[in-house]
Structure 1
Amino acid sequence: MRRIIICFLLYVAELAFSAASVEQEVMSADELRQHILEKRSAPLTCLNVKATLNVRDFGAVPNDGKDDRPAIASAVLKARRMEGPVQISFESGCYDIQPATDDYIYSDHTNSGVFLRDCRDMVIEGNGAHMLIHRQDVSVFAAVHSTNIIIRNFTADYDPLPFSQGTVCSINEANNSFVFELQSGFPRPDDAFFKSCDSWGMLKDTEHPGRLKADCPSVFFFDEMTPVERNKYRIVLKNPGRTSYFTKGDVFAITGRSASIGWYNDSDNITFNNITAYACPSPVFIGTETSRLNVLNCRMKLIGKRLMTNGGGGVICQASRIGPWVENCEFEGLSDDCLNIYGLPIYILEQISPVKMRVYAKAAIQPGDRLAFFNPNEGNVIQETTVVSFSKNILVLKDPVGKLNTVPPGAKRTKVNPREWKIYDHAYNLNAVGNYYVYRNNTMHDGRRYGVLLRASYGLIENNRFEGLSRTGMQISNEPEWPEGFWTRNLIVRGNRVSECGYGHGDPSIQIKSLKLHGVMDAPIQKNIFLIDNEFHAVSGPAAVFDGVDGLTVNGNVFDSGSAFGSLVVGENVKLRSLEDNTGDSRFEFKHSISR
């Protein structure tokens, strides 16, 4: 394992060096594409297996209705002790997964159907096996501190389901409540699972399963839920006036975020291949500090009367040193962004000197990492510098940083994520944001929020289809309000089609912005972005909004909108590198922009 880690760190260092050198010279789209594909290694799809174990030999027998989790865990333990690569094989049929604990503890991933800790060079071969999870806070697969893992050829579902839905019977605007009648086959909305986690609701479009009801908020929080008679519940909304969006006969869906189909942490080169799931509590594939995640030929599918498939996004990568590769996947009925790549803020608790400070950081910081210090209020990059050392929350930098607006002593913060600190100056680790990622030949349709939300550099978004998503199909921006970051540079968006997205809010098909708290930055941080041969079909309003981009190429694209008048493309504070051969260019409007 030590040798693998050293090789991986050398590989990351090579990527960081090449990234720095590439930014010094602007490449063509073809050169940049070649650079990304060369530097981001191809997905792991095969290992030269030396030994094979069958879970049946450990007591996991399909279709017998018994809990198979302990037997699967025994097979993994045996494989971990063997010289690899080792394959763990399932047979076709249904495997039942019961939780190991009595209480809802969704952070305890040892409950997972297949739990891999400190594993390497391993194939988990499903052979079409179906994983049926019997409590909503249990993940199907989880990998921790593991390297070179292939998980393939499974289907998965939950019983009970991790979401509920019912019909709106009546509305009482005076007390901001409505009555909900539970539909057959769904768990009670006051189920213990929903009480145990972040539970909220959405109004759904019954004519287009997976989509939200148009022209209304994308989320409804509630304070109270009281049974009033058999299968009926009175729900009191948290925000005043929200019942005005409700109509008798609407379908209201409730979700609670917890577990996932694939969860990963502090791992490298994990591949999910040919996984089809029909329900998931939270994002389908989600994790932190895991590089070279590969998601191939995977699907999230609506079945039966379900109007959603999960309570979160599709592929979520937090603080990766090397970004994900997602290809030939279909994401349907999601409740959040299909792809979300980002880094975490580093908060400064005490500035001991211009080069030394005490910080709060949730992700690892290594010597040689490049940091960008950010003033979220004024919207400017204060300083870029390199890490000399990081130990016991003390950060030592190569270059001095001017006086910062630090987090004051005793400032309030949540236990899990100090988002209240977003108003103070903070930093982003540019080596841990998910640079070098590939997202191609995927289909995302009929879901909530964005298709892709990007805050990382050296990316290839190619030949994807985005349809029926409630917000912008492609959102390329930092997020100071959340906060997550940081910038997107050297990005290729080519051959994609975005249609019927943004119907919930009149959003554009694509949006690129450089943001500060409560506004747009004066100096763009998004740089060197190529939009080539795409189709952007807006439901209404402009098809594209660009606000703060340095070095934008827009060639050979189709822009149109359901709105017959007004601008199709709106650009402000944009430095254009090329603007050629686009359909709809008579309705382009660029303000305070220049062409190079």
Structure 2
Amino acid sequence: MKSKSRKEFGLMNMSLKGTLGKFGVVLLAVGMFMGGASGFSGLNASANESASNLAEIDIQDMITTAIAQNQAQLTIPPGTYRIGPKSGQNTILNIENANNLEIIANGVTVVGTTLTRALSIWNSANVIIRGMTINYDPLPFTQGKVTAVAADKSYVDIAISAGYPHELYTRLTVYDPATGFQKRGINHLWGTTAAWNANGSLRISLAGVGNNAAVNDPVTVAGGPGAGGIPHAIAVERSSGVEFRNVTVHTAPGFAFIEANSDGGTVLDGFKLIPGPVPPGAAETPLLTSVWDGIQFKTSGLGPTVENSIIKNAGDDSFSIQSGDYGVVKVQGDEITVVLRDESQIPRPGDRLKRFNNSPEAVVVSQEKVPKASAGIDPAILQKIDTAAQYTLWRFSGDNYYKIKLDRTSPFQAEDLIFSPDRMSNGFTFRNNEVYSPGRGMLLKAGGGLIENNIFRGGDKAIVVSPEGVSDSHAGAGQNLTIRGNQFIGTGYHHYMPWSDQAGAVSFTSENVTNMKAFDTVVIEDNIFDSINGLNLNLTNVNNATVSGNQFLNPHQTTPNNNGADKGIDATSVIWVKNATGVTFTGNEINQLGPFSSLTVNVQQPSAGIVGADTGVIVVNPITDTE
């Protein structure tokens, strides 16, 4: 995601012009009152309220007025509202500078008529949204079936189904007709192009795009935000104590939900990302929800609590918590200048900065943005940044340079890579959720977290804990994690990644952290791994881990994938341990180990203090017949 400016989030200054007059009409028309300091309570309009009355209701004006009058509660009359952004806005509904506001939207469906952000919360505290459903018309994707596959697999032709947009979208997903889930054996389809055939069908082209695809396979082809629109259905920035309870998102021109650069503590309870209803004029239920990721939290303070929620059929990763490193480009006494990978990383006064969890730290006293050209940075460092290739250590794009005053003489040197443990969303809870999407179920760059009693099905991996960075620091590396009582079912059957160390249904990996162990104090207990393709558990660069009471059911009964092959990871193992210390296995059971593996716990050097690899993981009911 790019810069999180107020303009991008659609949170420009909102005028109250026309609010009071129009709002008065609404009160008379639907008999609705807003609760607040004056003691009024919200009365939901009748379920039989006419479409004409609903059309008179301006939800944005209601929200703006409630904020201006410091009201505690706003009830939106139930019904379906087809709305786009107001003139001069690029977000449909804006909640800005709100405090202690509860919006009750039970039975309310907001249908965005423009492919842009539906709801934005900015610079607010203790805002609760209850019961809202978000959908879009037109949809940000189209849907159909394969009608032809090129002999050389270089293209597939698609007949678009009735009721779905006729757009030259390019992001292709191929589904299994029997399951309605992404087809097994389909790998990443990046770099596709789209064109219309003379007969009106859609041709998606890319070398190998037809591999494992067949005529009559269902497909979706997705886009993103429309012209002038901004991605993601719901966005939260610079806020704290925000709650979404029983909110549903059916699709999104980007992510379903993103939070960035907030104080955090967000609650998603009963949040549902699920396919929407059959579109007008269609006969098929949508196969896709958000066209990109499902839910993402990024560079915020306190981590979220996500409970009792469903993330289904997202176009990429289902859930992620993101954080990253800063480059130190100038040091002068108690002042440093840093470059950020994006502006969501901006540190706040009071935030700690350090390189490793146990290394010297300093606290931010103040910060200000400075121009790159006039910040007095060594030209050699600027050249290093300007010439850095994608995905390399000093690749910092944009002009995100900040002068930071510290509470002490800087413990950092120019060209150090540092991070803030207070901008990682540490202290999160992810509990009692169901995840069923083809991408990674969870990508985690945070610590102090509990992942408990969830069901992860079908993803290419269930949980990946990895900073995905290139600096030797603890930026994005999770510590003090508990993964308990979860079910991991049927992962690893698509999106093969031989080039990546992210291998395994549950995977701890970090090649870049070399001076310290990347992950410390990890508990993996009482989980069920069921019918995983390839590696089940990957413990690389981990210290002080306990693996106990887990059941590994039906592993390696099919030919394993090649995830991690280029990194020397053996996918025929059930458990992989490398460069790890202090790992203890107790009471784990592998039931019906298939014929494609004889390696239960594969310990690779350098490793030390591995206890119970031979006694703490037992095999029962092995299967040796490949028939």
Alignment match, 2:76 = 90
Whichever residue aligns with residue 63 of structure 1, its letter is: A
Does residue 299 of structure 2 align to residue 319 of structure 1? yes
Alignment match, 2:312 = 332
Alignment match, 1:479 = 468
Alignment match, 1:468 = 458
Give me the whole-angstrom Cα distance separating, in 1, the residues matched to 2:195 and 2:164: 17
Alignment match, 2:267 = 294
Give me the whole-angstrom Cα distance separating, in 2, the residues matched to 1:432 and 1:251: 41
Does residue 604 of structure 2 align to residue 591 of structure 1? yes
The 1:542–1:391 alpha-carbon spacing in structure 2 relative to 1, beyond 3 Å, is closer
Q: Is the 8 A contact 1:67 1:97 kept in 2?
A: no
Give me the whole-angstrom Cα distance separating, in 1, the residues matched to 2:258 and 2:471: 18
1:205 to 163, 176, 188: 176
Alignment match, 1:25 = none
Alignment match, 2:556 = 563
Equivalence map 1:347-496=2 (5 Å): 347-348=327-328, 350-353=329-332, 356-361=335-340, 362=343, 363-373=345-355, 384-393=360-369, 406-408=381-383, 411=386, 420-421=395-396, 426-445=417-436, 447-469=437-459, 471-480=460-469, 485-496=475-486
2:201 to 225, 232, 237: 232
Alignment match, 1:214 = 184
The 1:322–1:62 alpha-carbon spacing in structure 2 relative to 1, beyond 3 Å, is farther
Alignment match, 1:529 = 522
What's the offset of the Cα at 1:528? 0.4
What's the offset of the Cα at 1:580? 0.7
The 1:564–1:228 alpha-carbon spacing in structure 2 relative to 1, beyond 3 Å, is closer
Q: Is the 8 A contact 2:257 2:295 kept in 1?
A: yes
Does residue 505 of structure 2 align to residue 509 of structure 1? yes
Q: Is the 8 A contact 2:339 2:396 kept in 1?
A: no
Bigger shift: residues 247-256 or 87-96:
247-256
The 1:413–1:522 alpha-carbon spacing in structure 2 relative to 1, beyond 3 Å, is closer
Alignment match, 2:136 = 158
Give me the whole-angstrom Cα distance separating, in 2, the residues matched to 1:591 and 1:167: 46
What's the offset of the Cα at 1:72? 1.3
2:257 to 285, 293, 315: 285
Q: Deviations over 1:494-540 (max 9, x none)?
A: 11110111211465221111232xxx747421110101111112432
What's the offset of the Cα at 1:274? 0.5
The 1:96–1:233 alpha-carbon spacing in structure 2 relative to 1, beyond 3 Å, is same
Q: Deviations over 1:309-359 (max 9, x none)?
A: 1112232111111111100001111112222112133234x3345864422
The 1:219–1:543 alpha-carbon spacing in structure 2 relative to 1, beyond 3 Å, is same
Whichever residue aligns with residue 59 of structure 2, its letter is: I
Give me the whole-angstrom Cα distance separating, in 2, the residues matched to 1:410 and 1:425: 13
Does residue 52 of structure 2 align to residue 64 of structure 1? yes
Bigger shift: residues 538-547 or 148-157:
538-547
Q: Is the 8 A contact 1:52 1:88 kept in 2?
A: no
TM-score normalised by the chain length of structure 1: 0.76
The 1:414–1:135 alpha-carbon spacing in structure 2 relative to 1, beyond 3 Å, is farther
TM-score normalised by the chain length of structure 2: 0.72
Alignment match, 1:77 = 64
Alignment match, 2:163 = 185
Aligned residues: 505
Does residue 253 of structure 2 align to residue 263 of structure 1? no
Q: Is the 8 A contact 1:487 1:525 kept in 2?
A: yes
What's the offset of the Cα at 1:561? 4.1
Q: Deviations over 1:18-73 (max 9, x none)?
A: xxxxxxxxxxxxxxxxxxxxxxxxxxxxx99765576999xxx76339766x8112
Secondary structure in structure 2 of the residue aligned to 1:408: helix
Whichever residue aligns with residue 80 of structure 1, its letter is: I
Secondary structure in structure 2 of the residue aligned to 1:551: strand
What's the offset of the Cα at 1:181? 1.7
Whichever residue aligns with residue 90 of structure 1, its letter is: I
Secondary structure in structure 2 of the residue aligned to 1:132: strand
Give me the whole-angstrom Cα distance separating, in 2, the residues matched to 1:289 and 1:55: 35
Give me the whole-angstrom Cα distance separating, in 1, the residues matched to 2:519 and 2:184: 31
The 1:479–1:542 alpha-carbon spacing in structure 2 relative to 1, beyond 3 Å, is same
Give me the whole-angstrom Cα distance separating, in 2, the residues matched to 1:169 and 1:449: 26
Larger radius of gyration: 2
Alignment match, 1:134 = 113
The 1:427–1:71 alpha-carbon spacing in structure 2 relative to 1, beyond 3 Å, is same
Give me the whole-angstrom Cα distance separating, in 1, the residues matched to 2:166 and 2:82: 22
Give me the whole-angstrom Cα distance separating, in 2, the residues matched to 1:186 and 1:481: 42
Q: Is the 8 A contact 1:561 1:568 kept in 2?
A: no
Give me the whole-angstrom Cα distance separating, in 1, the residues matched to 2:393 and 2:509: 24
What's the offset of the Cα at 1:230? 5.0
Give me the whole-angstrom Cα distance separating, in 1, the residues matched to 2:431 and 2:445: 17
- Structure with higher RCO (Cα < 8 A, 6+ apart): 1
Identity over aligned pairs, percent? 21
Higher strand proportion, which one? 1
Q: Deviations over 1:403-438 (max 9, x none)?
A: 9994526716899x999449x863322110101101
Alignment match, 1:579 = 585
Give me the whole-angstrom Cα distance separating, in 2, the residues matched to 1:573 and 1:418: 22
Secondary structure in structure 1 of the residue aligned to 2:302: coil
What's the offset of the Cα at 1:272? 0.5
Whichever residue aligns with residue 476 of structure 2, its letter is: F
Give me the whole-angstrom Cα distance separating, in 1, the residues matched to 2:554 and 2:247: 36
Whichever residue aligns with residue 100 of structure 1, its letter is: K
1:252 to 219, 224, 227: 219
Give me the whole-angstrom Cα distance separating, in 2, the residues matched to 1:490 and 1:404: 40
Q: Is the 8 A contact 1:62 1:92 kept in 2?
A: no
Give me the whole-angstrom Cα distance separating, in 2, the residues matched to 1:501 and 1:205: 15
What's the offset of the Cα at 1:577? 4.6
Secondary structure in structure 2 of the residue aligned to 1:127: coil
The 1:52–1:247 alpha-carbon spacing in structure 2 relative to 1, beyond 3 Å, is farther
Q: Is the 8 A contact 2:575 2:600 kept in 1?
A: yes
Structure 1 stretches lacking a partner, 5+ long: 1-46, 103-107, 375-380, 396-402
Give me the whole-angstrom Cα distance separating, in 2, the residues matched to 1:497 and 1:583: 15
Bigger shift: residues 491-500 or 225-234:
225-234
